[in-house]
Amino acid sequence: MKTTQYVAREPDVSGFIHYPADEHERWNTLITRQLKVIEGRACQEYLDGIEQLGLPHERIPQLGDINRVLQAATGWSVARVPALIPFQTFFELLASKQFPVATFIRTAEELDYLQEPDIFHEVFGHCPLLTNPWFAEFTHTYGKLGLAASKEERVYLARLYWLTIEFGLIDTPQGRRIYGGGILSSPKETVYSLSSAPEHLAFDPVEAMRTPYRIDILQPLYFVLPELKRLFQLSHEDIMGMVQRARQLGLHSPKFPPKAA
């Protein structure tokens, strides 16, 4: 596993996590800026989730506050984790309806983008849609499948996750919108993803599994759902059969240059 400069903050005996004032200020900067950027760009289900969560602007939220909302909405909760966790732990958590949240916030130097998922990415990017039963069901199914999958199969599942839950778009009567948490927590990618610069393809799970990606660049390609309910439908289809099909067909050529050595 990669190393990270970030260290997750530990709760006190009552379960409360104390953050210094400058970290609360950083949260405030991130959330107030991003709420403006996602206007007219985020899907309605995500906006409904933001409203339900009622995230504070002036301070980093406590996980217990988020859990009360998620438990009531879909039976999910968030689980405190260190900065980076193994695939196995990730799948175990999702399979038990727990979403991992690293309890650190990015530094001022990495305000616009960092490769590790911090509390802003996890809470602002992903937690709002965990209030939605369709999205929650797909995420739960994904965790259970990942837990039972082989190491090779998990690589294909990871691509599906990346191109849906992290970087997915959706067509709505109001126009194309964002539901992927990786986009919604990034000011640059929020604007870029809906522009004419990247390629947009109708969602196809097998094709998504065959599509290589890099985590450190703006995505060259996004898959577009016809509606959010498509994820719920997918969770009741033979996803592992699709993994086998994707493995037989092989990977597409990357749409990005190789990483510099």
Q: What is the CA radius of gyration of the chain?
A: 18
Q: Give the separation between CA 86 and CA 94, rounded to whole angstroms.
A: 13
Q: Give the separation between CA 61 and CA 127, rounded to whole angstroms.
A: 12
Are 139 and 94 a contacting pair, CB within 8 Å? Answer: yes
> What DSSP state is assigned to residue 42?
B
User: Under DSSP, is residue 234 helix (H, G, I), strand (E, B) or coil?
Assistant: helix
Is 126 annotated to bind ligand? yes
The CA distances from residue 104 to 35, 84, 99, 107, 204, in Å, are: 20, 11, 15, 9, 35
> What DSSP state is assigned to residue 5?
S
Q: Give the separation between CA 203 and CA 180, rounded to whole angstroms.
A: 13
Residue written as tokens 């802003």? 120
Are 53 and 78 a contacting pair, CB within 8 Å? Answer: no
Binding-site residue set: 121, 126, 166
Q: Residue ranges for the binding site for Fe cation?
A: 121, 126, 166
